[in-house]
Amino acid sequence: MDIAFTRRVLDNGLNVIVHEDHRCPIVAVNIWYHVGSKNEQPGRTGFAHLFEHLMFEGSEHYDKGYFHPLQEAGGLINGSTNADRTNYWEVVPTNALEIALWMDSDRMGYLLPALTQAKFENQREVVLNERRQNYENRPYGLAPVVILGALFPADHPYHWLSIGVPADLRAASLDEVRHFFESYYHPRNASVALAGDIDQASALELARRYFGDICPGPEVSPVHPVAARLASEVRLLLEDRVELPRLYISWHTPGLFRKGDAEMDLLADVLTSGKSSRLYRALVYEQRIATEVAAIQNSREAAGFFQVIATAAPGRTLNDLRRAIDEELARLVAEGPTTDELERAQVQFEAQFVFGLESVGGFGGKSDQLNAYNVFLGDPGWFARDLARYREATTEGLRAAAARYLDPAERVIASVVPRGRPELAVSDSTPVVPS
């Protein structure tokens, strides 16, 4: 499973990766800036994501919305911000590659002259609406605020969400936002992947032409937070406008690509992927005390966290769910998964991996993955080794990882219950109000 590519580092420090795939007459342009909410400061959160919005609002030489020319060219355009990185991508017909490169390079090199107070204020309103839509007005939407707040201490950069704290967004000034851009959005902190119906030599030449003259920018010091630990089990209670209570159990785990990360991914699959998975089978299928259950290894650059999330069936409390989950986890730690369970999880990962390679662009497509490997590991060609992490995992490796990381004494349990029904929560939970 090798993806052929070429990487060049331009004189200004910009990484350029090219991958040819001529099956469809399209090219993916994918740019990663190695900046996310973890580069923000307490009290000054939400900047990286707000910036993602501002990057579509015009630059010095094209001071209008970025969507018009790219949609006119038949392109698909998007971007996203998480704790560790911000990505911007277009998938354009082959003949529109230069339009995309012109625009992406203009906003990398010449954004600030076009950044005005009016644009800033408008996009801040859009972001506040995004927060209302996806967090405040969505059932269980504020649970992540409470959970991350408890898992990571206030000065740890994973303490807050990338959407930011509303008060921080309202307090942000244009000058601070400009300073944030100058610190992080430049060639030295970026990686450009071009994948699709192009030839390597001319793609590299085009990248050099459009991006080569941009000033490198200051060095960015990596963020290495002190590893967070929980001294004990933390139990929190959040009342929300929901019909059914939901339980979130979260543990600290290894970060992305670290030893143990793949094992936690596979364990998540063994626990909740499909009807025959352990927790689904026990809680939803056999005991019918939950309506749904999911497990996920959240792999981040500096640290990871594993979560089990289950929603109670009507008439059940979150204590019922916690007890059943703990029983299953204890059994997994004692016996480990079976060979059959592991093999099923492995082939699922292989299949998902191959499906991802079907697209040159978009979230999780080849260009995005080349950048992920390049930015986090310094090697875009990590496809085979990534897959090998899963292929080489053993049942004993999974058992040991479960034993080490899923410690009942060091975890955050958050109960989200209908308003006025605190008795449905896990007992001895402390009420919290999300900021």
21 binds another protein (CB under 8 A): yes
291 binds another protein (CB under 8 A): yes
What residues pair up with 62 in beta bridges, in sequence order? 59
Nearer to another protein, 131 or 252 (CB): 131
Length of the chain: 435
Interaction pattern, residues 95-134, with another protein; x per rule: CB under 8 A: xxxxx--xx-xx---x----------xx--xx-xxx-xxx
Please answer whether residues 352 and 310 qualify as being in contact, where contact means their C-beta atoms are separated by less than 8 angstroms.
no
For the bound state, the minimum distance from the C-beta of residue 130 to another protein, rounded and expressed in Å, comes to: 4
Nearer to another protein, 128 or 372 (CB): 128
Cβ-proximal residues to 351 (8 Å cutoff; 6+ apart), any chain: none
280 φ/ψ sector (left φ>0, alpha ψ -120 to 50, else beta): alpha
Q: Which residues of 272-283 are buried (b: 16+ CB within 10 A; e: fewer)?
A: bbeeebbbbbbb
For the bound state, the minimum distance from the C-beta of residue 345 to another protein, rounded and expressed in Å, comes to: 8
Nearer to another protein, 284 or 329 (CB): 284
Report which secondary-structure segment, H or E, holds 131.
Answer: helix 117-131
435 binds another protein (CB under 8 A): no
For the bound state, the minimum distance from the C-beta of residue 189 to another protein, rounded and expressed in Å, comes to: 21
Q: Which stretch binds another protein (CB under 8 A): 7-15, 44-52, 75-83, 249-257?
A: 75-83
In angstroms, how far is the first alpha carbon of the chain from the final one? 45
| β-bridge pairing 26-33 and 86-93 | antiparallel
Q: How far apart are CA 416 and CA 422, in angstroms?
A: 9
Please answer whether residues 168 and 44 qualify as being in contact, where contact means their C-beta atoms are separated by less than 8 angstroms.
yes
What residues pair up with 342 in beta bridges, in sequence order? none
What does the block give as tokens for 250? 């979260």
For the bound state, the minimum distance from the C-beta of residue 138 to another protein, rounded and expressed in Å, comes to: 7
Q: Which residues of 84-102 are buried (b: 16+ CB within 10 A; e: fewer)?
A: bbbbbbbbbbeebbebbbe
Q: Which of residues 393-422 bind another protein (CB under 8 A)?
A: none
For the bound state, the minimum distance from the C-beta of residue 416 to another protein, rounded and expressed in Å, comes to: 11
282 binds another protein (CB under 8 A): no
Nearer to another protein, 132 or 259 (CB): 132
Among 44, 178, 281, 404, binds another protein (CB under 8 A): 281
- Tell me if residue 87 falls in helix, strand or coil: strand
Nearer to another protein, 102 or 326 (CB): 102
Report which secondary-structure segment, H or E, holds 121.
Answer: helix 117-131
For the bound state, the minimum distance from the C-beta of residue 346 to another protein, rounded and expressed in Å, comes to: 9
Please answer whether residues 238 and 142 qualify as being in contact, where contact means their C-beta atoms are separated by less than 8 angstroms.
yes
Please answer whether residues 406 and 270 qualify as being in contact, where contact means their C-beta atoms are separated by less than 8 angstroms.
no
Among 74, 113, 153, 218, binds another protein (CB under 8 A): 74
Report which secondary-structure segment, H or E, holds 207.
Answer: helix 200-211
Q: If binding means CB under 8 A, how many residues of this protein chain bind another protein?
A: 80
Nearer to another protein, 155 or 335 (CB): 335
Q: Which of residues 28-57 bind another protein (CB under 8 A)?
A: none
Nearer to another protein, 34 or 131 (CB): 131
61 binds another protein (CB under 8 A): yes
Q: Which of residues 174-203 bind another protein (CB under 8 A)?
A: 197
| β-bridge pairing 234-240 and 412-418 | parallel
Q: Which stretch binds another protein (CB under 8 A): 148-156, 209-217, 231-239, 257-265?
A: 209-217
Cα 181 → chain centroid: 21
Please answer whether residues 304 and 152 qualify as being in contact, where contact means their C-beta atoms are separated by less than 8 angstroms.
no
Among 4, 9, 24, 334, binds another protein (CB under 8 A): 24
Q: Which of residues 235-274 bind another protein (CB under 8 A)?
A: 241-244, 273-274
Please answer whether residues 142 and 240 qualify as being in contact, where contact means their C-beta atoms are separated by less than 8 angstroms.
yes
- Tell me if residue 251 falls in helix, strand or coil: strand
For the bound state, the minimum distance from the C-beta of residue 315 to another protein, rounded and expressed in Å, comes to: 10
Q: Which of residues 304-363 bind another protein (CB under 8 A)?
A: 311, 313-314, 340, 343-344, 347-348, 350-352, 354-355, 357-360
Nearer to another protein, 159 or 344 (CB): 344
Nearer to another protein, 276 or 394 (CB): 276
Among 256, 254, 318, residue whose Cα is nearest residue 283: 318
Q: How far apart are CA 15 and CA 250, in angstroms?
A: 36
For the bound state, the minimum distance from the C-beta of residue 12 to another protein, rounded and expressed in Å, comes to: 14
Nearer to another protein, 91 or 425 (CB): 91
For the bound state, the minimum distance from the C-beta of residue 30 to another protein, rounded and expressed in Å, comes to: 14
Handedness of CA 159, 271, 372, 193 (dihedral sign): negative
Q: Which stretch binds another protein (CB under 8 A): 93-101, 142-150, 151-159, 424-432?
A: 93-101
